[in-house]
Amino acid sequence: MKYCLHALLFFFIGHNGYLQAQAELEKGAVSYVSSQNVYVKFASTKGINIGDTLFVRNGETLVPALRVTNKSSVSCVCSRLGDSNPAVSSEIVAKKIPETPKADESKEQEKPPGKEKQAQGRSKKPGKTTPVAPGRPLIQKQSRQNIRARLSAASYSSFSDRVERTRMRYAFSMQGNNFGDSGFSTDVNVVFRHTLKEWQAVKNNLNDALKIYGLSVKYDFSPTTHIALGRRINPRISNLGAVDGIQFEKGLGHFVFGAIAGARPDMRDYSINPDLMQAGAYVGLVSRENERNQQSTLGIIEQHNGSAIDRRFVYFQHSNDLLQNLNVFSSMEMDLYENISGESKSKLSLTNLFVSLRYKFSRKFSANLSYDNRRNIIYYESYKTYIDQLIDNETRQGMRLGFNYRPIKMLSWGANASWRFQKSSANESKNLNTYLNINQIPGLKISASITANFLQTSYINSRIFGLRLMKDVFKGKVNTEVYYRRVDYDFPLYGYATNQNVVGGSLSWQILKKLSMSAFVEKTFDSQNNDFMLINTRLMQRF
Protein backbone atom coordinates (compact mmCIF):
# COMPACT_ATOMS: atom_id res chain seq x y z
CA MET A 1 0.00 0.00 0.00
CA LYS A 2 2.98 2.34 0.06
CA TYR A 3 2.20 3.63 -3.45
CA CYS A 4 -1.34 4.56 -2.38
CA LEU A 5 0.01 6.35 0.67
CA HIS A 6 2.48 8.24 -1.53
CA ALA A 7 -0.30 9.24 -3.90
CA LEU A 8 -2.50 10.50 -1.05
CA LEU A 9 0.45 12.34 0.47
CA PHE A 10 1.29 14.09 -2.82
CA PHE A 11 -2.39 14.80 -3.34
CA PHE A 12 -2.54 17.10 -0.32
CA ILE A 13 1.06 18.27 -0.07
CA GLY A 14 1.88 21.62 -1.57
CA HIS A 15 -1.60 23.04 -0.99
CA ASN A 16 -0.45 25.12 1.94
CA GLY A 17 0.51 28.71 1.38
CA TYR A 18 -2.48 29.39 -0.91
CA LEU A 19 -2.13 33.12 -0.41
CA GLN A 20 1.34 33.42 -1.95
CA ALA A 21 1.69 35.75 -4.91
CA GLN A 22 1.77 34.37 -8.45
CA ALA A 23 4.96 34.60 -10.47
CA GLU A 24 5.07 37.17 -13.25
CA LEU A 25 3.93 35.81 -16.60
CA GLU A 26 6.71 35.55 -19.17
CA LYS A 27 6.91 34.84 -22.88
CA GLY A 28 6.46 31.17 -23.65
CA ALA A 29 7.85 28.72 -26.17
CA VAL A 30 6.37 25.82 -28.13
CA SER A 31 7.42 22.58 -26.41
CA TYR A 32 5.64 20.00 -28.60
CA VAL A 33 3.55 19.93 -31.78
CA SER A 34 1.07 17.19 -32.71
CA SER A 35 -1.34 16.85 -35.62
CA GLN A 36 -4.15 18.26 -33.48
CA ASN A 37 -2.58 20.47 -30.82
CA VAL A 38 0.31 22.79 -30.05
CA TYR A 39 1.77 22.68 -26.51
CA VAL A 40 3.24 25.91 -25.13
CA LYS A 41 5.27 26.24 -21.94
CA PHE A 42 5.34 29.39 -19.81
CA ALA A 43 6.98 30.30 -16.55
CA SER A 44 3.39 30.37 -15.28
CA THR A 45 -0.06 30.32 -16.84
CA LYS A 46 -1.57 32.60 -14.19
CA GLY A 47 -3.61 35.19 -16.05
CA ILE A 48 -4.11 32.93 -19.09
CA ASN A 49 -7.61 31.47 -19.40
CA ILE A 50 -9.10 28.74 -21.57
CA GLY A 51 -10.33 30.40 -24.75
CA ASP A 52 -7.63 33.09 -24.74
CA THR A 53 -5.65 33.89 -27.88
CA LEU A 54 -1.86 33.53 -27.98
CA PHE A 55 0.31 35.46 -30.44
CA VAL A 56 3.54 35.26 -32.46
CA ARG A 57 5.68 38.26 -33.33
CA ASN A 58 5.98 39.66 -36.82
CA GLY A 59 8.31 42.60 -36.32
CA GLU A 60 6.65 44.79 -33.72
CA THR A 61 3.21 43.34 -34.44
CA LEU A 62 1.54 40.54 -32.48
CA VAL A 63 -0.30 38.17 -34.82
CA PRO A 64 -2.96 35.77 -33.45
CA ALA A 65 -1.66 32.21 -33.75
CA LEU A 66 -3.17 29.88 -31.12
CA ARG A 67 -6.23 29.46 -28.94
CA VAL A 68 -5.95 27.92 -25.43
CA THR A 69 -8.12 24.80 -25.04
CA ASN A 70 -6.66 23.51 -21.79
CA LYS A 71 -3.90 24.43 -19.37
CA SER A 72 -1.84 23.42 -16.37
CA SER A 73 0.24 25.63 -14.12
CA VAL A 74 3.06 25.99 -16.68
CA SER A 75 1.71 24.66 -19.96
CA CYS A 76 -1.14 25.39 -22.37
CA VAL A 77 -2.72 22.99 -24.85
CA CYS A 78 -3.70 25.06 -27.90
CA SER A 79 -5.47 24.74 -31.23
CA ARG A 80 -4.17 26.56 -34.29
CA LEU A 81 -5.75 29.72 -35.66
CA GLY A 82 -5.79 30.22 -39.42
CA ASP A 83 -2.73 28.78 -41.11
CA SER A 84 -0.52 29.31 -38.10
CA ASN A 85 1.80 26.37 -37.47
CA PRO A 86 4.56 27.40 -35.03
CA ALA A 87 7.51 25.07 -34.75
CA VAL A 88 9.05 23.66 -31.58
CA SER A 89 10.92 26.37 -29.61
CA SER A 90 9.06 29.18 -31.41
CA GLU A 91 8.38 32.17 -29.18
CA ILE A 92 4.73 32.59 -28.15
CA VAL A 93 3.32 35.69 -26.46
CA ALA A 94 0.31 35.80 -24.11
CA LYS A 95 -1.45 39.03 -23.22
CA LYS A 96 -1.95 39.08 -19.46
CA ILE A 97 -4.90 41.14 -18.28
CA PRO A 98 -4.08 42.87 -14.97
CA GLU A 99 -6.38 41.89 -12.13
CA THR A 100 -8.50 44.60 -10.55
CA PRO A 101 -9.15 44.63 -6.80
CA LYS A 102 -12.53 43.41 -5.66
CA ALA A 103 -15.07 45.91 -4.43
CA ASP A 104 -14.73 45.09 -0.75
CA GLU A 105 -10.91 45.14 -0.98
CA SER A 106 -10.97 48.59 -2.64
CA LYS A 107 -13.15 49.99 0.15
CA GLU A 108 -10.85 48.63 2.81
CA GLN A 109 -7.88 50.35 1.18
CA GLU A 110 -9.79 53.66 1.19
CA LYS A 111 -10.72 53.53 4.90
CA PRO A 112 -9.03 56.12 7.11
CA PRO A 113 -6.56 54.48 9.50
CA GLY A 114 -8.52 55.58 12.55
CA LYS A 115 -11.72 53.83 11.45
CA GLU A 116 -10.20 50.45 10.65
CA LYS A 117 -11.28 48.76 13.88
CA GLN A 118 -14.76 50.23 13.67
CA ALA A 119 -15.21 48.89 10.15
CA GLN A 120 -13.98 45.47 11.20
CA GLY A 121 -16.42 45.41 14.07
CA ARG A 122 -19.37 46.13 11.81
CA SER A 123 -18.35 43.38 9.39
CA LYS A 124 -18.64 40.78 12.12
CA LYS A 125 -22.29 41.52 12.90
CA PRO A 126 -24.74 38.81 11.84
CA GLY A 127 -26.56 39.49 8.61
CA LYS A 128 -24.04 42.03 7.35
CA THR A 129 -21.99 39.67 5.16
CA THR A 130 -22.87 37.38 2.29
CA PRO A 131 -20.98 34.07 2.33
CA VAL A 132 -19.20 33.16 -0.90
CA ALA A 133 -18.23 29.61 -1.74
CA PRO A 134 -14.45 29.12 -2.07
CA GLY A 135 -13.26 29.14 -5.63
CA ARG A 136 -16.28 31.09 -6.87
CA PRO A 137 -16.19 34.71 -8.09
CA LEU A 138 -18.06 37.35 -6.07
CA ILE A 139 -20.23 38.22 -9.12
CA GLN A 140 -21.39 35.48 -11.47
CA LYS A 141 -20.87 36.60 -15.05
CA GLN A 142 -23.56 35.73 -17.57
CA SER A 143 -22.45 33.03 -20.01
CA ARG A 144 -22.08 34.47 -23.50
CA GLN A 145 -22.23 32.58 -26.76
CA ASN A 146 -18.84 32.00 -28.36
CA ILE A 147 -18.62 29.80 -31.44
CA ARG A 148 -15.43 29.06 -33.36
CA ALA A 149 -15.14 26.65 -36.27
CA ARG A 150 -12.57 25.68 -38.88
CA LEU A 151 -12.89 23.77 -42.15
CA SER A 152 -9.82 22.76 -44.14
CA ALA A 153 -8.81 20.69 -47.16
CA ALA A 154 -5.22 19.57 -47.64
CA SER A 155 -3.17 17.44 -50.01
CA TYR A 156 0.07 15.58 -49.24
CA SER A 157 1.95 14.40 -52.33
CA SER A 158 5.18 12.40 -52.45
CA PHE A 159 7.22 11.71 -55.58
CA SER A 160 10.14 9.31 -56.02
CA ASP A 161 11.49 6.80 -58.55
CA ARG A 162 9.56 4.04 -56.77
CA VAL A 163 6.19 5.58 -55.94
CA GLU A 164 3.99 8.60 -56.53
CA ARG A 165 1.18 9.06 -54.04
CA THR A 166 -1.23 11.81 -53.03
CA ARG A 167 -3.20 11.72 -49.81
CA MET A 168 -6.14 14.02 -49.16
CA ARG A 169 -7.20 15.24 -45.74
CA TYR A 170 -10.42 17.08 -44.90
CA ALA A 171 -10.95 18.35 -41.37
CA PHE A 172 -13.71 20.11 -39.49
CA SER A 173 -13.47 21.34 -35.94
CA MET A 174 -15.84 23.47 -33.91
CA GLN A 175 -16.01 24.63 -30.33
CA GLY A 176 -19.35 26.19 -29.53
CA ASN A 177 -19.67 27.60 -26.04
CA ASN A 178 -23.01 28.60 -24.51
CA PHE A 179 -25.30 28.42 -27.55
CA GLY A 180 -27.88 31.19 -27.34
CA ASP A 181 -26.28 32.31 -24.06
CA SER A 182 -27.45 29.03 -22.53
CA GLY A 183 -25.58 26.29 -20.71
CA PHE A 184 -25.21 24.12 -23.83
CA SER A 185 -21.79 23.76 -25.48
CA THR A 186 -20.35 21.40 -28.06
CA ASP A 187 -16.95 20.21 -29.22
CA VAL A 188 -16.40 18.62 -32.66
CA ASN A 189 -13.20 17.35 -34.27
CA VAL A 190 -13.64 15.18 -37.38
CA VAL A 191 -11.05 14.17 -40.01
CA PHE A 192 -11.53 12.27 -43.28
CA ARG A 193 -8.43 10.94 -45.08
CA HIS A 194 -7.96 8.91 -48.22
CA THR A 195 -5.38 8.22 -50.94
CA LEU A 196 -6.16 9.08 -54.52
CA LYS A 197 -6.84 6.04 -56.74
CA GLU A 198 -7.33 3.87 -53.63
CA TRP A 199 -11.03 4.49 -52.93
CA GLN A 200 -11.69 0.78 -52.49
CA ALA A 201 -9.83 0.92 -49.17
CA VAL A 202 -12.38 3.46 -47.93
CA LYS A 203 -15.26 1.21 -49.00
CA ASN A 204 -13.69 -1.76 -47.24
CA ASN A 205 -13.43 0.05 -43.89
CA LEU A 206 -14.83 3.55 -43.54
CA ASN A 207 -13.49 3.80 -39.99
CA ASP A 208 -9.92 3.70 -41.28
CA ALA A 209 -10.58 6.89 -43.26
CA LEU A 210 -13.08 8.72 -41.04
CA LYS A 211 -11.69 9.61 -37.62
CA ILE A 212 -13.94 11.23 -35.04
CA TYR A 213 -11.56 12.54 -32.40
CA GLY A 214 -14.21 14.54 -30.58
CA LEU A 215 -18.01 14.81 -30.81
CA SER A 216 -19.73 15.84 -27.59
CA VAL A 217 -22.39 18.03 -26.05
CA LYS A 218 -21.94 19.60 -22.62
CA TYR A 219 -24.48 21.29 -20.37
CA ASP A 220 -23.45 23.58 -17.50
CA PHE A 221 -25.95 23.47 -14.65
CA SER A 222 -23.83 26.11 -12.90
CA PRO A 223 -20.27 27.48 -13.18
CA THR A 224 -19.08 24.47 -11.13
CA THR A 225 -21.35 21.64 -12.33
CA HIS A 226 -21.70 20.11 -15.80
CA ILE A 227 -22.58 16.93 -17.66
CA ALA A 228 -21.20 15.84 -21.06
CA LEU A 229 -22.36 13.23 -23.59
CA GLY A 230 -20.45 11.81 -26.54
CA ARG A 231 -16.75 11.33 -27.36
CA ARG A 232 -14.67 13.66 -25.20
CA ILE A 233 -11.25 13.86 -23.53
CA ASN A 234 -11.55 14.84 -19.88
CA PRO A 235 -8.82 17.39 -19.02
CA ARG A 236 -8.77 16.16 -15.40
CA ILE A 237 -7.68 12.66 -16.53
CA SER A 238 -6.39 13.37 -20.04
CA ASN A 239 -4.01 10.37 -20.05
CA LEU A 240 -7.08 8.14 -20.21
CA GLY A 241 -7.79 9.40 -23.74
CA ALA A 242 -11.21 9.81 -25.29
CA VAL A 243 -14.30 8.43 -23.53
CA ASP A 244 -17.42 7.42 -25.50
CA GLY A 245 -20.21 7.95 -23.01
CA ILE A 246 -21.30 10.21 -20.20
CA GLN A 247 -19.15 12.39 -17.90
CA PHE A 248 -20.25 14.38 -14.87
CA GLU A 249 -18.35 16.88 -12.72
CA LYS A 250 -19.29 18.87 -9.63
CA GLY A 251 -17.22 21.50 -7.83
CA LEU A 252 -17.48 22.09 -4.10
CA GLY A 253 -15.17 24.82 -2.87
CA HIS A 254 -11.58 23.75 -3.50
CA PHE A 255 -12.69 20.23 -4.46
CA VAL A 256 -13.92 18.81 -7.75
CA PHE A 257 -15.74 15.46 -7.94
CA GLY A 258 -16.33 13.63 -11.21
CA ALA A 259 -17.43 10.33 -12.75
CA ILE A 260 -17.26 8.72 -16.20
CA ALA A 261 -19.12 5.78 -17.75
CA GLY A 262 -18.92 4.54 -21.32
CA ALA A 263 -16.49 2.80 -23.65
CA ARG A 264 -12.99 3.11 -25.04
CA PRO A 265 -12.54 3.73 -28.78
CA ASP A 266 -11.60 0.64 -30.75
CA MET A 267 -7.85 0.00 -30.54
CA ARG A 268 -7.52 -0.71 -34.29
CA ASP A 269 -9.52 1.96 -36.11
CA TYR A 270 -10.77 4.30 -33.34
CA SER A 271 -14.42 3.49 -33.99
CA ILE A 272 -17.07 3.00 -31.29
CA ASN A 273 -16.64 -0.40 -29.61
CA PRO A 274 -19.35 -1.22 -27.01
CA ASP A 275 -17.34 -4.27 -25.86
CA LEU A 276 -14.63 -2.04 -24.38
CA MET A 277 -16.69 -0.61 -21.51
CA GLN A 278 -15.09 1.47 -18.77
CA ALA A 279 -16.17 3.43 -15.71
CA GLY A 280 -14.48 5.40 -12.98
CA ALA A 281 -14.53 8.31 -10.59
CA TYR A 282 -12.08 11.01 -9.54
CA VAL A 283 -11.61 13.80 -7.04
CA GLY A 284 -9.63 16.96 -7.71
CA LEU A 285 -8.21 19.72 -5.55
CA VAL A 286 -7.79 23.12 -7.22
CA SER A 287 -6.69 26.58 -6.16
CA ARG A 288 -9.02 29.56 -6.14
CA GLU A 289 -8.71 32.69 -8.24
CA ASN A 290 -5.95 35.10 -7.15
CA GLU A 291 -4.09 32.21 -5.50
CA ARG A 292 -1.04 30.23 -6.44
CA ASN A 293 -2.07 27.88 -9.26
CA GLN A 294 -2.26 24.27 -8.05
CA GLN A 295 -4.21 21.29 -9.32
CA SER A 296 -4.38 17.65 -8.25
CA THR A 297 -6.49 14.75 -9.49
CA LEU A 298 -6.82 11.26 -7.98
CA GLY A 299 -9.05 8.72 -9.76
CA ILE A 300 -9.75 5.02 -10.13
CA ILE A 301 -10.74 3.44 -13.47
CA GLU A 302 -11.93 -0.06 -14.41
CA GLN A 303 -11.88 -1.18 -18.05
CA HIS A 304 -13.59 -4.25 -19.52
CA ASN A 305 -13.42 -6.34 -22.68
CA GLY A 306 -16.84 -7.92 -22.88
CA SER A 307 -17.83 -8.93 -19.38
CA ALA A 308 -14.28 -9.61 -18.20
CA ILE A 309 -11.98 -7.10 -16.49
CA ASP A 310 -9.27 -5.86 -18.85
CA ARG A 311 -7.54 -3.40 -16.54
CA ARG A 312 -8.12 -1.67 -13.19
CA PHE A 313 -5.85 1.18 -12.12
CA VAL A 314 -5.40 4.35 -10.07
CA TYR A 315 -4.45 7.61 -11.77
CA PHE A 316 -2.84 10.59 -10.04
CA GLN A 317 -1.84 13.99 -11.47
CA HIS A 318 -0.48 17.07 -9.73
CA SER A 319 0.80 20.48 -10.84
CA ASN A 320 2.06 23.17 -8.50
CA ASP A 321 4.13 26.34 -8.22
CA LEU A 322 6.23 25.25 -5.25
CA LEU A 323 8.21 28.48 -5.19
CA GLN A 324 7.92 31.77 -7.03
CA ASN A 325 10.15 30.52 -9.85
CA LEU A 326 9.82 26.73 -9.45
CA ASN A 327 7.07 24.74 -11.17
CA VAL A 328 6.43 21.01 -10.80
CA PHE A 329 4.22 18.57 -12.68
CA SER A 330 3.83 14.88 -11.82
CA SER A 331 1.62 11.98 -12.88
CA MET A 332 1.40 8.39 -11.73
CA GLU A 333 -0.49 5.23 -12.69
CA MET A 334 -0.79 2.17 -10.44
CA ASP A 335 -2.41 -1.04 -11.65
CA LEU A 336 -4.57 -2.87 -9.10
CA TYR A 337 -5.47 -6.07 -10.95
CA GLU A 338 -3.85 -9.02 -12.68
CA ASN A 339 -5.15 -12.21 -14.29
CA ILE A 340 -2.57 -14.84 -15.19
CA SER A 341 -3.54 -18.32 -16.40
CA GLY A 342 -7.15 -17.71 -15.35
CA GLU A 343 -6.20 -16.77 -11.78
CA SER A 344 -7.23 -13.19 -10.99
CA LYS A 345 -6.18 -11.23 -7.92
CA SER A 346 -5.61 -7.69 -6.69
CA LYS A 347 -2.00 -6.58 -6.90
CA LEU A 348 -0.57 -3.08 -6.66
CA SER A 349 1.97 -2.31 -9.40
CA LEU A 350 3.47 1.04 -10.39
CA THR A 351 3.17 1.24 -14.18
CA ASN A 352 3.89 4.90 -14.87
CA LEU A 353 5.66 7.72 -13.04
CA PHE A 354 6.49 11.09 -14.57
CA VAL A 355 7.94 14.13 -12.77
CA SER A 356 8.93 17.44 -14.38
CA LEU A 357 10.58 20.48 -12.77
CA ARG A 358 11.12 23.91 -14.33
CA TYR A 359 13.10 26.65 -12.60
CA LYS A 360 13.44 30.23 -13.74
CA PHE A 361 16.79 31.56 -12.51
CA SER A 362 16.20 35.02 -14.01
CA ARG A 363 14.29 36.75 -16.79
CA LYS A 364 17.00 35.55 -19.18
CA PHE A 365 17.71 31.99 -18.04
CA SER A 366 15.50 29.00 -17.20
CA ALA A 367 16.06 25.25 -16.98
CA ASN A 368 13.92 22.12 -16.83
CA LEU A 369 14.42 18.54 -15.67
CA SER A 370 12.12 15.53 -16.05
CA TYR A 371 12.15 11.83 -15.14
CA ASP A 372 9.97 9.18 -16.80
CA ASN A 373 9.53 5.61 -15.55
CA ARG A 374 7.17 3.39 -17.55
CA ARG A 375 6.20 -0.25 -17.79
CA ASN A 376 4.12 -1.78 -20.55
CA ILE A 377 0.42 -1.46 -19.76
CA ILE A 378 -1.14 -4.93 -19.69
CA TYR A 379 -4.70 -5.46 -20.92
CA TYR A 380 -5.38 -8.99 -19.67
CA GLU A 381 -8.29 -9.69 -22.04
CA SER A 382 -7.31 -7.69 -25.12
CA TYR A 383 -3.74 -9.00 -25.26
CA LYS A 384 -3.79 -12.16 -23.16
CA THR A 385 -1.94 -14.15 -25.85
CA TYR A 386 1.08 -11.92 -25.13
CA ILE A 387 0.85 -11.99 -21.33
CA ASP A 388 4.12 -13.84 -20.70
CA GLN A 389 6.04 -11.52 -23.00
CA LEU A 390 4.51 -8.40 -21.46
CA ILE A 391 5.23 -9.44 -17.89
CA ASP A 392 8.88 -10.14 -18.70
CA ASN A 393 9.42 -6.70 -20.22
CA GLU A 394 11.61 -4.35 -18.23
CA THR A 395 10.85 -0.88 -17.06
CA ARG A 396 11.77 1.82 -19.55
CA GLN A 397 13.25 4.86 -17.86
CA GLY A 398 14.16 8.23 -19.24
CA MET A 399 15.64 11.53 -18.11
CA ARG A 400 15.51 14.89 -19.87
CA LEU A 401 17.40 18.09 -19.11
CA GLY A 402 17.06 21.38 -20.93
CA PHE A 403 17.68 25.10 -20.66
CA ASN A 404 16.83 28.34 -22.45
CA TYR A 405 18.96 31.50 -22.38
CA ARG A 406 17.93 34.88 -23.81
CA PRO A 407 20.89 37.29 -23.45
CA ILE A 408 19.17 40.01 -25.50
CA LYS A 409 15.63 40.55 -26.78
CA MET A 410 16.23 39.30 -30.32
CA LEU A 411 18.44 36.30 -29.44
CA SER A 412 17.67 33.04 -27.64
CA TRP A 413 19.71 29.87 -27.23
CA GLY A 414 18.62 26.57 -25.80
CA ALA A 415 19.41 22.88 -25.60
CA ASN A 416 17.73 19.64 -24.56
CA ALA A 417 19.41 16.35 -23.69
CA SER A 418 17.57 13.07 -23.07
CA TRP A 419 18.62 9.59 -22.04
CA ARG A 420 16.37 6.53 -22.22
CA PHE A 421 17.67 3.31 -20.69
CA GLN A 422 16.85 -0.19 -19.45
CA LYS A 423 18.76 -2.65 -17.31
CA SER A 424 19.49 -4.90 -20.29
CA SER A 425 20.60 -1.87 -22.38
CA ALA A 426 17.88 -2.73 -24.90
CA ASN A 427 16.22 0.25 -26.58
CA GLU A 428 18.77 2.61 -25.05
CA SER A 429 18.94 6.02 -26.71
CA LYS A 430 20.78 9.28 -26.19
CA ASN A 431 19.66 12.50 -27.82
CA LEU A 432 21.00 16.06 -27.83
CA ASN A 433 19.22 18.95 -29.50
CA THR A 434 20.32 22.58 -29.54
CA TYR A 435 18.99 25.69 -31.27
CA LEU A 436 19.81 29.36 -31.76
CA ASN A 437 16.92 31.69 -32.68
CA ILE A 438 17.46 35.21 -34.03
CA ASN A 439 14.31 37.30 -34.22
CA GLN A 440 14.04 40.09 -36.79
CA ILE A 441 17.65 40.61 -37.91
CA PRO A 442 18.21 44.39 -38.13
CA GLY A 443 18.05 45.78 -41.67
CA LEU A 444 16.74 42.52 -43.16
CA LYS A 445 13.65 41.96 -40.99
CA ILE A 446 14.27 38.24 -41.31
CA SER A 447 14.08 35.73 -38.47
CA ALA A 448 16.54 32.83 -38.45
CA SER A 449 16.83 29.54 -36.61
CA ILE A 450 19.93 27.33 -36.47
CA THR A 451 19.48 23.78 -35.13
CA ALA A 452 21.59 20.69 -34.48
CA ASN A 453 20.44 17.25 -33.37
CA PHE A 454 22.49 14.19 -32.39
CA LEU A 455 20.86 10.78 -31.81
CA GLN A 456 22.47 7.52 -30.72
CA THR A 457 20.55 4.25 -30.32
CA SER A 458 21.30 0.53 -30.53
CA TYR A 459 20.41 0.45 -34.24
CA ILE A 460 20.93 3.98 -35.64
CA ASN A 461 23.15 7.02 -35.18
CA SER A 462 22.22 10.31 -36.77
CA ARG A 463 23.42 13.91 -37.04
CA ILE A 464 21.16 16.68 -38.34
CA PHE A 465 22.11 20.32 -38.91
CA GLY A 466 19.58 22.88 -40.12
CA LEU A 467 19.11 26.53 -41.03
CA ARG A 468 15.66 28.14 -41.36
CA LEU A 469 14.87 31.69 -42.55
CA MET A 470 11.44 33.30 -42.09
CA LYS A 471 10.10 36.62 -43.37
CA ASP A 472 6.79 38.43 -43.09
CA VAL A 473 5.60 40.16 -46.29
CA PHE A 474 2.78 42.65 -46.75
CA LYS A 475 2.12 43.21 -43.04
CA GLY A 476 1.22 39.65 -42.15
CA LYS A 477 -0.77 38.87 -45.30
CA VAL A 478 2.00 36.70 -46.75
CA ASN A 479 4.63 34.75 -44.83
CA THR A 480 7.53 32.92 -46.43
CA GLU A 481 10.04 30.40 -45.17
CA VAL A 482 13.06 28.61 -46.64
CA TYR A 483 15.30 26.04 -44.98
CA TYR A 484 18.17 23.61 -45.45
CA ARG A 485 19.04 20.46 -43.51
CA ARG A 486 22.06 18.18 -43.67
CA VAL A 487 21.26 14.66 -42.42
CA ASP A 488 23.74 11.82 -41.80
CA TYR A 489 22.44 8.33 -40.95
CA ASP A 490 24.56 5.38 -39.81
CA PHE A 491 23.14 1.86 -39.23
CA PRO A 492 25.96 -0.01 -37.44
CA LEU A 493 24.10 -3.34 -37.28
CA TYR A 494 23.78 -3.46 -41.06
CA GLY A 495 27.02 -1.72 -42.04
CA TYR A 496 25.00 0.86 -43.95
CA ALA A 497 25.32 4.64 -44.03
CA THR A 498 23.75 7.44 -46.03
CA ASN A 499 23.53 11.20 -46.02
CA GLN A 500 20.90 13.58 -47.30
CA ASN A 501 20.68 17.22 -48.29
CA VAL A 502 17.19 18.59 -47.77
CA VAL A 503 15.96 21.93 -49.13
CA GLY A 504 12.46 23.28 -48.75
CA GLY A 505 10.24 26.28 -48.48
CA SER A 506 6.69 27.32 -47.68
CA LEU A 507 4.36 30.21 -48.38
CA SER A 508 1.18 31.15 -46.52
CA TRP A 509 -1.33 33.71 -47.73
CA GLN A 510 -4.11 35.30 -45.70
CA ILE A 511 -6.52 35.76 -48.61
CA LEU A 512 -9.38 37.17 -46.52
CA LYS A 513 -9.81 37.77 -42.83
CA LYS A 514 -10.89 34.17 -42.25
CA LEU A 515 -9.70 32.47 -45.44
CA SER A 516 -6.09 31.35 -45.84
CA MET A 517 -3.99 29.17 -48.10
CA SER A 518 -0.55 27.61 -47.69
CA ALA A 519 1.85 25.57 -49.80
CA PHE A 520 4.97 23.60 -48.88
CA VAL A 521 7.68 22.03 -51.08
CA GLU A 522 10.62 19.88 -49.95
CA LYS A 523 13.26 18.08 -52.01
CA THR A 524 15.61 15.44 -50.57
CA PHE A 525 18.86 14.52 -52.32
CA ASP A 526 20.05 11.14 -51.04
CA SER A 527 23.61 9.81 -51.43
CA GLN A 528 22.18 6.36 -52.27
CA ASN A 529 20.16 7.85 -55.16
CA ASN A 530 16.88 7.55 -53.26
CA ASP A 531 15.81 11.11 -54.01
CA PHE A 532 12.23 12.14 -53.30
CA MET A 533 10.06 15.26 -53.15
CA LEU A 534 7.10 16.34 -51.01
CA ILE A 535 4.43 18.88 -51.97
CA ASN A 536 1.73 19.86 -49.49
CA THR A 537 -1.10 22.37 -49.90
CA ARG A 538 -3.89 23.51 -47.58
CA LEU A 539 -6.95 25.74 -47.85
CA MET A 540 -8.62 26.79 -44.60
CA GLN A 541 -11.81 28.68 -43.81
CA ARG A 542 -12.54 29.88 -40.29
CA PHE A 543 -16.00 30.76 -39.04
pLDDT digits (tens, 9 = 90+) for 116-141: 333 333 333 333 333 333 333 333 44
**Phi, then psi, of 3 in degrees rounded to 5:** -70, -40
The answer to whether residue 208 scores a pLDDT higher than 80 is: yes
Query: Which segment of 221-230, 294-303, 416-425 scores lowest on mean pLDDT?
Result: 416-425
Q: How confident is the model at residue 184 (pLDDT cuts 50, 70, 90)?
A: very high
The answer to whether residue 172 scores a pLDDT higher than 90 is: yes
Count of CB atoms situated within 10 Å of the CB of 321: 25
pTM of the model: 0.69
Tell me which range, 42-56, 412-426, 494-508, is most confidently predicted by mean pLDDT: 494-508
Q: Percent of the chain having pLDDT more than 70?
A: 80
Angle at 330 between CA 327 and CA 335, to 5 degrees: 175
The answer to whether residue 427 scores a pLDDT higher than 80 is: no
Q: How confident is the model at residue 501 (pLDDT cuts 50, 70, 90)?
A: very high
* 262 against 426, higher pLDDT: 262
Q: How confident is the model at residue 153 (pLDDT cuts 50, 70, 90)?
A: very high
293 CA to centre of own chain? 18
Q: Residues 280, 262: contact at Cβ < 8 Å?
A: no
- How many residues are listed for the chain in this entry? 543
**Alpha helices per DSSP H over 355-446:** 387-392
The answer to whether residue 416 scores a pLDDT higher than 90 is: yes
Q: For residue 83, what pLDDT is reported?
A: 59
Rounded to an integer, the average pLDDT of 466-488 is 90
Residue (of 238, 244, 285, 290) closest to 267 by Cα position: 244
Residue (of 475, 461, 477, 470) closest to 510 by Cα position: 477
75-94: pLDDT as tens digits: 888 877 765 777 766 778 88
SS3 assignment, position 486: strand
Mean pLDDT value across the chain? 81
Q: For residue 61, what pLDDT is reported?
A: 56
Measured CA to CA, the distance from residue 41 to residue 107 in angstroms comes to: 37
Burial of 259 (0-12, 13-18, 19+ CB in 10 A): middle
Rounded to an integer, the average pLDDT of 218-231 is 94
User: Which stretches of 223-341 are assigned E, i.e. beta strand?
Assistant: 225-233, 242-252, 255-265, 272-286, 294-305, 308-323, 326-340
Cα distances (angstroms) measured from residue 59 to each of 26, 54, 82, 94, 410? 19, 16, 19, 16, 10
Measured CA to CA, the distance from residue 202 to residue 170 in angstroms comes to: 14
Tell me which range, 23-32, 118-127, 288-297, is most confidently predicted by mean pLDDT: 288-297
Q: How confident is the model at residue 461 (pLDDT cuts 50, 70, 90)?
A: very high
Measured CA to CA, the distance from residue 265 to residue 76 in angstroms comes to: 25
Measured CA to CA, the distance from residue 264 to residue 305 in angstroms comes to: 10
